[in-house]
Structure 1
Amino acid sequence: YEVEIVFSIEDKPLGTAGPLALARDMIETEYFFVLNSDVICLYPFRNLLLFHKSHGHEGTLMVTQVKEPSKYGVIISERNGRISRFVEKPEEFCGDKINAGIYCFSRAILKRIEPVRTSIETEVFPKMVLDGELFSYVLDGYWMDIGQPKDYLTGTCLHLSWIEEKSARDSRTPDPDYRPNTIVDESATIGERCQIGPNVVIGRNVVIEDGVHLSRCVLFDGVHVKRGSFINSCIIGWDCMIGEWCRLEESCVLEKNVRVADGIHMLGATVCSHKNVNKHVREPTCIL
């Protein structure tokens, strides 16, 4: 994409705010975005920036609506979007908007932050609220924190559903060989009598032999699944080999170049790179 990437490296942990001060000289524009790396949504940067410019203050925090706000810190805003307070895990309903982990800031915010360990959520934002300098922008569409394997799979399903809906709006014809919400790289090889989907992502140069069933899973580049195997709700890393007639389910995570022997049953296992799995794993465990 011809995008230049510049890294600012911390010699010691600086929290969620300190790194902004550390990278101060690298921020050359009047406005800039800050994102948590483990969230997925449609990233409406253009609309977020336009809203931020319209109110002219130091910060805009993107919020998303949740069904169970008592699990989170709730953000209370005025009609114009100005944030009035934060309520941590409220026992009584006071709102249903939470921090989505995506921000737009003006350079003026950097005056508030020193290159020391500082939390932007608990130390910087409350002071901005007191000064009337922090606004909220409501995210339209799906959102998910994908920092855990189960949530990563849920986020994948949400994004695949959005792609499917967009394809329907654009009058695209779905691929008759796969079930809904499925993306298969054109370099992948798919055998006969396979069930692919729903909610499956298959990367480059993946080989799926005959009679394989895949659902709610992500297969990274170079994975090989031998005949008759069943994979549901799993993440299969680069260059893994799944033997014949295996069954993997309940959020198994295989890192790079894992080898699973024929006929193995795995439930909720996490397997580190370059390991061989030669016996059943029928309860959640980590194989180092």
Structure 2
Amino acid sequence: MMEPALVLAGGLGTRLRAVVGMSTPKPMAMVGGEPFLHWLLRMLARQGVPAVYLSVGFLHDAISGALGDRFEGLDLHYVVEPEPLGTGGAVALAASRIAAPRFLVLNGDTLAAMDLQAFAAQARADAADLSIALAQTSDVGRYGAVLYEPDTRKVTGFAEKGGSGAGWINAGVYMVDKAALQRLDLPTRFSFERDLMADRLAQLDMRAWPGVQDFIDIGVPEDYALAQTKVPRLVGSSPQGGHA
């Protein structure tokens, strides 16, 4: 059975405020006539995810009030941050509420066209502490690159933003082993990407899954404009969209 998913939906969305206003949480920004979260949740439902935990903070009532506790067959649960905890703190807090030993983590402002079933199966087979879905791009400058060994897919490092050239980038989809989080001495507030993935790389068995076909991050105005047509196309035409 597919693991549950955690969607990080508590960001302030400061870069999008000029476009969507102050009263709309970033994951609820309208894309193709629907809130972005509808598209993300629909993709998860179609790929067999049984339940989604939404990590919320900023304007959380606007999210829970709009979605309720069910969406297209998904059971929805809300984990409210008492204060901003960073992406890592949000994951750690939600992990304490999720019964499953492993769970998916996705960003609430990013959508990746990928086969989640295949990603999850590989993560289980690897039995890694953390698995990362990667997308290939012709220019890693905006995102930074993920470095890994092709044979073992073991992640060996992260290149900072500002470089150039083709490479593999983090698509914002993970499989997390709860036991790995629990054995590390992590603060209450921390960055998942910087303080865990980068700074604790030597302490973790971290594996790459270079199978993302396409993705989009709606966090900046120019990509938000692109998302109006790209997100419906990715969700509607993805060959992996048929899982039920």
What band does the TM-score fall into relative to the shorter chain? 0.5 to 0.7
For structure 2, the residue ranges without an aligned partner over 5 or more in a row are 1-71, 240-244
Cα displacement (A) at 1:141? 1.8
Cα displacement (A) at 1:160? 4.6
Pair 1:40–1:165, CA change in 2 (3 A): closer
Q: SS of 2:170's equivalent?
A: strand
Pair 1:124–1:157, CA change in 2 (3 A): same
1:65 aligns with 2:136: yes
Larger Rg belongs to: 1
Q: SS of 1:116's equivalent?
A: coil
Cα displacement (A) at 1:29? 0.7
- 1:40 corresponds, among 111, 124, 127, to 111
Q: SS of 2:128's equivalent?
A: coil
1:131 aligns with 2:242: no
Q: Which string of whole-angstrom CA distances, capped at 9 and with x for unpartnered residues, describes residues 246-277 of structure 1?
A: xxxxxxxxxxxxxxxxxxxxxxxxxxxxxxxx
- 1:155 corresponds, among 201, 213, 227, to 227
Pair 1:26–1:113, CA change in 2 (3 A): farther
Indicate if the aligned counterparts of 1:18 and 1:113 stay in contact, CA closer than 8 A.
Answer: no
1:54 aligns with 2:54: no
1:119 aligns with 2:156: no
Pair 1:2–1:131, CA change in 2 (3 A): same
- 2:160 corresponds, among 88, 91, 97, to 88
The CA distance in 2 between the partners of 1:109 and 1:140, in whole Å, is: 24
Cα displacement (A) at 1:109? 2.6
Q: Which string of whole-angstrom CA distances, capped at 9 and with x for unpartnered residues, describes residues 77-112 of structure 1?
A: 00121100111025465x511111111111123213
Indicate if the aligned counterparts of 2:112 and 2:216 stay in contact, CA closer than 8 A.
Answer: yes
Q: Which string of whole-angstrom CA distances, capped at 9 and with x for unpartnered residues, describes residues 119-153 of structure 1?
A: 11111112442135111111332211112343123
Query: Structure 2: which amino acid aligns with 1:104?
Result: M
- Structure 1 window deviating more from structure 2 (106-115 vs 57-66): it is 106-115
What is the percent sequence identity of the aligned residues? Answer: 23
Q: How does 1:106-255 map to 2 (within 5 A)?
A: 106-111=177-182, 112=184, 114=186, 116-162=188-234
Query: Structure 2: which amino acid aligns with 1:48?
Result: F
Indicate if the aligned counterparts of 1:14 and 1:115 stay in contact, CA closer than 8 A.
Answer: no
Q: Corresponding residue for 1:3?
A: 74
Indicate if the aligned counterparts of 1:18 and 1:118 stay in contact, CA closer than 8 A.
Answer: yes
The CA distance in 2 between the partners of 1:166 and 1:73, in whole Å, is: 26
Indicate if the aligned counterparts of 1:73 and 1:88 stay in contact, CA closer than 8 A.
Answer: yes
Q: Corresponding residue for 1:267?
A: none
Q: SS of 1:32's equivalent?
A: strand
The CA distance in 2 between the partners of 1:164 and 1:25, in whole Å, is: 34
Cα displacement (A) at 1:15? 0.4
Q: Corresponding residue for 2:59?
A: none
Pair 1:160–1:21, CA change in 2 (3 A): closer
Q: Alignment RMSD, CA only?
A: 2.5
Query: Structure 2: which amino acid aligns with 1:135?
Result: R
Q: Corresponding residue for 1:26?
A: 97
Pair 1:126–1:148, CA change in 2 (3 A): closer
For structure 1, the residue ranges without an aligned partner over 5 or more in a row are 168-288
The CA distance in 1 between the partners of 2:220 and 2:82, in whole Å, is: 26
Pair 1:23–1:113, CA change in 2 (3 A): farther
Pair 1:3–1:71, CA change in 2 (3 A): closer
Indicate if the aligned counterparts of 1:83 and 1:132 stay in contact, CA closer than 8 A.
Answer: no
The CA distance in 1 between the partners of 2:187 and 2:80, in whole Å, is: 12
